[in-house]
Structure 1
Amino acid sequence: MPHRAWIVAGAAFVILIGAAGFRAVPGVLIDPLHAEFGWSRATISSAVSINLVLFGLFSPFAAALMDRLGMRRVVVCALILVAAGSGLTVFMTSSWQLLMCWGVLVGVGTGSMAMTFVATVTGRWFVKHRGLVSGVLTAAGATGQLIFLPLVAALATEHGWRTPAVVVSACALAVVPLVLLCLRDYPGDVGLTAYGARGDEREQRVGPVAGGATARALRVLREASRTPAFWLLAGGFAICGMSTNGLVGTHFVTAAHDHGMPHTTAASLLAVVGIFDVAGTILSGWLTDRVDPRLLLGGYYTFRGLSLLFLPSLLGPDVQPSMWAFIVFYGLDWIATVPPTVALCRDRFGADGPVVFGWVFASHQIGAAFAAVGAGAIRDSLGDYRLAWYLAGGLCVLAALMSVSVRANREPETSR
């Protein structure tokens, strides 16, 4: 019988598939919402932007809440928020309701199941193969994109945007029983040690702190922000968010449609990115156990920037071999940055690493939010996305330089 850690990791994989799919849905619905309500793309993108910001900003608080209340309680509440946020959109008549539903409710819900959840699961349940498991769980985000995007695009095309909104709500509720059945907070809760742990290694638990989870999350931020490593990691990850979720994840379908490509074809291409991202992120996790994570990040950001600089010349009504090359290359790199970033946070900040990564991930989503709104504004004012692709490509080169500048020796841990 497999170690219980693998069952927990399997449940976490399904949860993360859903979280990624739920969050990615609005990017496919920009044109249908624009057609029905007449809202500008910048206005609709603002809901995506709020979603992205809360997806990131709530992550460190979710990590602290998982320490205080347990992973199961936090994840169940998050799924209920997603179900409510998605389901209520079918009744909306004004843009502020879109901001509240897809922006606030879905943003907080998915933010509670974000990459800090990966750091928490791997940190508690695994000693051996941590990097590999981080890569596999991170790849769940790509798998969620692969499953949901073509389905949402097809449902929106055939039945209108309300049908996929209801489907997302139902899927979120369907995951709740799995969480209650399979997810456990610590190996010690079921009389085990973490996978690969030695018999004399004690389980690290974070006890209650004065002021609760919010106080701990803010304290960790205050102490981590005194180190250069935190700002270099946060700055690089902000650019990561700009160049993935904020720009490509939100606007690729619309940008491709501007060049004559059908929505369903463009959404399918974005889903193919997810296929290759699964392989790329798992490989990145395997490499993180063996190669300096700083060097991995430097390479990932450099190649991503170069691919984005070429993208404007590849868009057209048909999918040419050059576009397939971009999809494969970009897919392998999409979120390969997560395992080495998690490893650097854990290495430099110890038991506070998941919460620190939560704040680093918050910067990722703030960057994504700026790109989501900024690219929409560029499209509204200039008529195309060309400038947005060029800016993102240049910033990725900057992120590469920041990543390799992180100190090689470990920063002092924040106090616990």
Structure 2
Amino acid sequence: MRADNAELARHWRLLLGSTLGICVSSSALFYYTSSVFFAELNHALGWSRSELALANVVHTAAIALLSPFAGRFMDRHGIRAPIVFSLCAQAACYAAIALLPATLPLFLSLQALLSLLGVAATPVGYSRAISARFDAKRGLALGLAMSGLGVVAILAPLVLPRIVEAVGWRGGYLSLSAFVVLLGAPAMWLLGPEVDRTPVRPAAAPAQATHDLPLHRRPLFWLLIAAFVLPMLFGSGYIVHFIAMMRDRGLSATEAGTMAALIGVAVLLGRLVTGLLIDHLFAPRVIAVVMLLFAGGLLLLTTGHPMLALPAAFTIGFAMGAELDVLAYLVSRYFPIARFGRTYGVFYGALMAGGACSALLIAQLHARTGSYDVPLVLSAAMLVLAAALFLLAPRFPSSPASS
């Protein structure tokens, strides 16, 4: 068996456990279920789109602030115990949202608590474990694990509206609590205690004089921060707004949900295809092309033609699927693996900060202009800028760094 294929065979439990765990990560469940819940809460409780967008700000801002600290903690103490704690906290918070009184301050407070306690169950820990064990097939392994986000993106708009229609939004949140338990338990069993005992493997990293510098003193860090945050700030919010955009164009809730499911399919394909490509092609160039396709997809939405919304939905999902996959890969190639959790946590936190503002920014631009055309054109321009920044990224370092 070839050495690169042997990596997949040797660590299949880690891959499967990570995929299941990422399916129920706090970021996955919030992003890919919020459009369903936002529409229902707006109808049932009268909360405005801008008020509901605050939940996105509260949720992801908390993750953005804590991700670097969670990553550093997992670098030092392992990933399994923190993830188990966060999964239990998530299940409890979703149950609390379903059972406690429906007031906006309490709802926002529970979303913040969900983020604070569930931060270790984000992709930070899983990506660290995979990057420490894979080299030749690292891109594919990250893509397979991150495909858990795509599975949720496909199933949520198809299954959740039917649950909410049958048992209401409270029943929908209870179903999320049960989902966390049903997938989280086997995920932790598959990872097992040995996930924290396997030593970190060496990987390409900058020379000693460079990688000892603080992140904020490295120009490459700021280049990558800007390139990754721009798509999150100006693009990720369309996942939250997509169903509302389609409803504004006369589609029914079921039709809009079915179309939104295409985003989930594209997220899954984006993770797998990009993961496979970056094992063979220079990753910054791959993600630059993806960003240009994303920009084109957003411009298609300005036409208002329902059929053009299908390829637009695909490009949104494909780009969002590719971004986190490439982020983990580039962090593992440009920075020391032994500090992966802390470094990836900083990047992930920055992306979440951008994502926290994205839905609100789009909502405010929509409210001021009366349509989505202005934010769509602005977002497309920012994605072209992000593609240009990725093309400025240097070649990967060739000198191995000790773990």
Q: TM-score band (shorter)?
A: 0.7 to 0.9
| Aligned twin of 2:107 | 98
8 Å CA contact 2:297–2:311 kept in 1: the answer is: no
Q: How does 1:132-211 map to 2 (within 5 A)?
A: 132-184=140-192, 186=194, 189=197, 203-204=200-201
| Aligned twin of 2:92 | 84
Q: How does 1:219-238 map to 2 (within 5 A)?
A: 223-238=214-229
Shift of 1:56: 3.4
What letter corresponds to residue 23 of structure 2 in structure 1? I
Say whether residues 1:43 and 2:51 are aligned partners. yes
Shift of 1:304: 0.8
Higher mean C-alpha displacement, 273-282 vs 391-400: 273-282
| Aligned twin of 2:30 | 23
Measured in 2, the distance between the counterparts of 1:373 and 1:409 equals 36
Say whether residues 1:377 and 2:383 are aligned partners. no
Measured in 1, the distance between the counterparts of 2:398 and 2:159 equals 45
8 Å CA contact 2:139–2:329 kept in 1: the answer is: yes
Shift of 1:403: 1.2
Measured in 2, the distance between the counterparts of 1:254 and 1:14 equals 29
Measured in 2, the distance between the counterparts of 1:119 and 1:21 equals 15
Q: Secondary structure of 1:13's partner?
A: helix
Shift of 1:264: 2.4
| Aligned twin of 1:281 | 271
Say whether residues 1:240 and 2:226 are aligned partners. no
Say whether residues 1:11 and 2:17 are aligned partners. yes
> Structure 2 unaligned runs (5+)?
1-5, 203-210
| Aligned twin of 1:292 | 282
Give the 3 Å change call, closer, same or farther, for CA 260–390 of structure 1 in structure 2. Answer: same
Cα deviation 1:265-291 (Å, max 9, x = unaligned): 222222222113222221111111111
Measured in 2, the distance between the counterparts of 1:244 and 1:138 equals 19
Residue in structure 1 matching 2:323, options 337, 346, 350: 337
Shift of 1:100: 1.3
8 Å CA contact 1:378–1:388 kept in 2: the answer is: yes
State how many pairs are aligned.
385
8 Å CA contact 2:239–2:316 kept in 1: the answer is: no
Measured in 2, the distance between the counterparts of 1:331 and 1:374 equals 19
Say whether residues 1:64 and 2:67 are aligned partners. no
Cα deviation 1:111-161 (Å, max 9, x = unaligned): 322232342121233233111101111222111111222222222233321
| Aligned twin of 2:394 | 407
Shift of 1:221: 12
Say whether residues 1:327 and 2:313 are aligned partners. yes
8 Å CA contact 1:155–1:163 kept in 2: the answer is: yes
Higher mean C-alpha displacement, 250-259 vs 144-153: 144-153
What TM-score, normalized to structure 2?
0.87
Shift of 1:31: 2.2
8 Å CA contact 1:72–1:179 kept in 2: the answer is: no
What TM-score, normalized to structure 1?
0.84
Q: Secondary structure of 1:313's partner?
A: coil
> Structure 1 unaligned runs (5+)?
194-201, 206-219
| Aligned twin of 1:209 | none
Shift of 1:292: 1.1
Measured in 1, the distance between the counterparts of 2:212 and 2:368 equals 37
Shift of 1:64: 2.1
8 Å CA contact 1:23–1:110 kept in 2: the answer is: no
Give the 3 Å change call, closer, same or farther, for CA 140–244 of structure 1 in structure 2. Answer: farther
8 Å CA contact 1:228–1:406 kept in 2: the answer is: no
What letter corresponds to residue 226 of structure 2 in structure 1? G
8 Å CA contact 2:269–2:321 kept in 1: the answer is: no
| Aligned twin of 2:349 | 362
Measured in 2, the distance between the counterparts of 1:325 and 1:179 equals 34
Shift of 1:204: 4.7
